[in-house]
């Protein structure tokens, strides 16, 4: 296992060629690129969509090259303001770009024996376990190609995907939209 800084991992992340899967387990993340948009969201304003364009271009490029990208976010209900922000202002751009974004209520995940830490499973050959502090700041990444860890992560991925619902389904079933969040405009469905 190799421990990388977030910057070191980010520099290597784009190397995957076949698949990338992310399991997200926190109800709040501190990310510098989200600070302004999240503040807008909390103030009842719709954040600009431009800040999501780099990720959309990345996903579109990977999918055009034949890779797949997916994630499952395990969420605590009732949702935190940050998770509402992610579901209504962050993830729709991911879905528009072609990423399969899914939501799994934590109450349904407890029986699945999922790992306790976020991870990326890349090309079904490498696992990157994300380390965060209690405030949601990204501290480091433990990267391994150990077959047992890769296999366990693939089993967790399959369980999380099988028990989750697509983002647009979760939004519709829970009546989450921009108007509910105080923005005054309906959320553009990500379908």
Integer Cα distance of 48 and 37 in angstroms = 7
- pLDDT tens profile 105-124: 999 999 999 999 999 999 99
Integer Cα distance of 23 and 163 in angstroms = 13
- pLDDT tens profile 158-182: 999 999 999 999 999 998 864 444 4
Integer Cα distance of 134 and 148 in angstroms = 28
Superfamily of domain 2-173: Endonuclease Chain A (3.30.870.10)
Q: How far is CA 48 from CA 5, 71, 85, 147, in A?
A: 29, 23, 13, 42
Per-residue pLDDT of the chain (191 residues), as tens digits, is 999 999 999 999 999 999 999 999 999 999 999 999 999 999 999 999 899 999 999 999 999 999 999 999 999 999 999 999 999 999 999 999 999 999 999 999 999 999 999 999 999 999 999 999 999 999 999 999 999 999 999 999 999 999 999 999 999 999 886 444 444 333 332 32
pTM: 0.91
Q: Where are the domains of the chain?
A: 2-173
Strands 100-105 and 119-122: unpaired
Please enumerate in sequence order all residues whose Cβ is within 8 A of that of 164, keeping only pairs 6 or more positions apart, or say none: 72, 102, 103, 104
């Amino acid at each position: 296992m190799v421990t990388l800084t977030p910057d070191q991992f980010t520099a290597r992340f784009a190397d995957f060629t076949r698949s990338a899967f992310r399991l997200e387990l926190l109800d709040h993340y501190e990310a510098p690129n989200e600070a302004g948009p999240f503040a807008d969201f909390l103030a009842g304003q719709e954040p600009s969509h431009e800040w999501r364009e780099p990720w959309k271009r990345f996903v579109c490029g990977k999918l055009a090259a034949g890779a797949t990208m997916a994630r499952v976010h395990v969420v605590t209900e009732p949702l935190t303001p940050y998770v509402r922000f992610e579901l209504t202002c962050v993830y729709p751009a991911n879905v528009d770009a072609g990423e399969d974004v899914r939501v799994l209520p934590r109450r349904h995940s407890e029986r699945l024996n999922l790992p306790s830490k976020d991870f990326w499973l890349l090309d079904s050959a490498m696992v990157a376990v994300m380390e965060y502090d209690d405030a949601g700041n990204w501290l480091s990444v433990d990267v391994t190609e150990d077959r047992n860890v890769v296999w366990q992560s693939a089993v967790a991925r399959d369980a999380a995907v099988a028990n989750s619902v697509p983002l647009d389904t979760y939004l519709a079933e829970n009546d989450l939209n921009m108007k509910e969040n105080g923005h005054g405009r309906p959320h553009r469905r990500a379908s």
